[in-house]
């Protein structure tokens, strides 16, 4: 089995599909969690506190990091193999796509942008929340501008997106993720053998709907936090757990 997953093209695509499905499910969960901040900052912070440095949250973080690493590694290997075998036809498929041909030909580039955006997200949020708790610190900081409890995710989100350039960077990240998912979700089904003339339009629609929901869900949080950053910061600046 291990040889099949590492040496076979079909096996590598299967690994890509399984890890991709896992990551899409996590992204949907993360998006749903973020939307909570628009309705209740306190409820969002309760979720942040629950998903802090608890053993289950740390275990999930390790699994998630492994999933991202495996997905990106196999994407790089498959792209390299396809370059060698087909030249510029890197993501040749049995059914020709019409709507996202650019995305299908630039999945690795889009993937790199997504990973860079993930790195930015880790710097802005994970390093000031869960990592701070792992280091047993009671307070997190954002330079000299802000000191807050590491579970006060609503304050950190409002503060981060109060800066217009952060909003722009994240919107670029979300757009790259949209392109990546419009092809990636469909390819996941194709690997499972569903991409025929009957199912292709349906699966393409599913991929577009999933990608668009994810893009809009994340984007609306960033934009609303930017527009209401002053109110959100004033509301949450003195928040502490248990109050």
**pTM of the entire structure?**
0.84
Instruction: Give me the DSSP letters along the chain.
Output: -HHHHHH-HHHHHHHHHHHHHHHHHHHHHHHHHHHHHHH-HHHHHHHHHHTSS-HHHHHHHHHHHHHHHHHHHHHHHHHHHHHHHHTT-TT--SS--SSSHHHHH-HHHHHHHHHHHHHHHHHHTGGGTHHHHHTT-S-EESTTS-EE-TT-HHHHHHHHTTSHHHHHHHHHHHHHHHHHHHHHHHHHHHHTT--STTTHHHHHHHHHHHHHHHHHHHHHHHHHHHHTHHHHHHHHTT--TT-
Output the pLDDT for position 155.
Answer: 95
Tens-place pLDDT, residues 65-97: 998 888 888 878 877 777 666 654 444 444 454
The full set of domain ranges for the chain reads: 2-236
What would the pLDDT profile of 182-223 be if each residue is shown by its tens digit?
Answer: 877 777 766 656 656 666 777 788 888 999 999 999 999 999
Q: pLDDT of 34-66, one tens digit each?
A: 999 999 999 999 999 988 878 888 888 899 899
Q: Which CATH class is domain 2-236?
A: mainly alpha
């Amino acid at each position: 089995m291990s040889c099949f997953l590492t040496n076979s093209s079909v096996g590598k695509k299967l690994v890509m599909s399984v890890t991709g499905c896992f990551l899409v499910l996590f992204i949907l969960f993360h998006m749903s969690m973020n939307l909570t901040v628009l309705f209740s900052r306190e409820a969002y912070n309760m979720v942040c506190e629950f998903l802090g440095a608890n053993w289950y949250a740390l275990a999930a973080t390790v699994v998630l990091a492994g999933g991202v690493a495996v997905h990106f590694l196999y994407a790089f290997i498959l792209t390299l193999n396809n370059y060698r075998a087909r030249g510029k036809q890197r993501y040749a498929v049995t059914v020709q796509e019409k709507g996202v041909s650019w995305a299908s030909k630039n999945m690795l580039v889009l993937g790199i942008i997504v990973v860079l955006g993930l790195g930015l997200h880790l710097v802005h949020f994970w390093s000031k929340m869960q990592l701070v708790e792992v280091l047993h610190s009671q307070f997190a900081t954002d330079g000299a501008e802000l000191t807050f409890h590491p579970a006060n995710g609503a304050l950190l989100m409002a503060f981060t997106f109060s800066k217009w350039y952060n909003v722009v960077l994240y919107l670029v990240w979300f757009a790259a993720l949209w392109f990546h998912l419009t092809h990636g979700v469909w390819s996941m089904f194709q690997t499972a053998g569903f991409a025929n003339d009957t199912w292709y339009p349906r699966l393409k629609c599913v991929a577009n709907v999933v990608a668009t929901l994810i893009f809009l869900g994340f984007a609306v949080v960033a934009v609303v936090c930017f527009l209401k950053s002053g109110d959100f910061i004033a509301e949450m600046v003195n928040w502490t757990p248990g109050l």
